[in-house]
Amino acid sequence: MSGNNSTFSVIGSDVTIKGDVSATVDLHVDGKVEGDITCASLVQGESSEIQGSVKAETARFSGKIVGSIDARELVILRSAHVEGDVHYDTLTIEQGAAVDGRLSHKGPSSAKSVPAAKPGTGNTGKSDDDDGEARLTLAG
C-alpha cells in the first residue's frame, strides 16, 4: 500500500509508547508518547500527551506537547499546551492555546525567532517583516 495517502495509524487513548515513533503515513495520537515522533501528518487528541520532539509536514495539536515541533503547516487548537520551541512555515493558533517557547519561521529568508504570544498582552507573535513569507494566524 505504499503511495496510498489514505492510510493512517492510530495510537489509542489506552496506549502509552516509550520510544521513538516513525511513520510514513498519517498518524493520530490519542494516547501518550514518551519519545520523538516523525510522520507525514500528525493529529493529536485533546487528552493526548507527547513528551518528545515532533517532525511532520502537517500537524494539528489539541493536547499537551513537551518538546520541539517542526512542521510545514501547524495548527495549535485552544485546548493545546505546548512547552518547547516551534518551527513552522504556516501557523494557526486558536485563542486560548498555550505556547511556552519560541516561535520561529523556517523560511529561507527568515533567520530570527519571534517570542510566543502571551494571552491578554496584545502581542500576536508576528514579526515586523512585511515580506509576505511568514504566516501566523490567531484564530478566535
- What's the whole-number mean pLDDT along residues 50-67? 98
Q: What is the number of helices (H) and of strands (E) in the chain?
A: 0, 16
- Does 2 or 25 have the greater pLDDT score? 25
Residue 139: the pLDDT is 66
Amino acid occupying residue 80: A
- What's the whole-number mean pLDDT along residues 39-47? 96
Q: Let me know: does 137 contact 89? Beta carbons within 8 Å.
A: no
Q: Let me know: does 40 contact 56? Beta carbons within 8 Å.
A: yes
What sign for the dihedral angle of Cα 5, 97, 136, 85?
negative
**Where residue 7 falls among pLDDT bands split at 50, 70, 90?**
confident
**Where residue 8 falls among pLDDT bands split at 50, 70, 90?**
confident
Residue 107: the pLDDT is 75
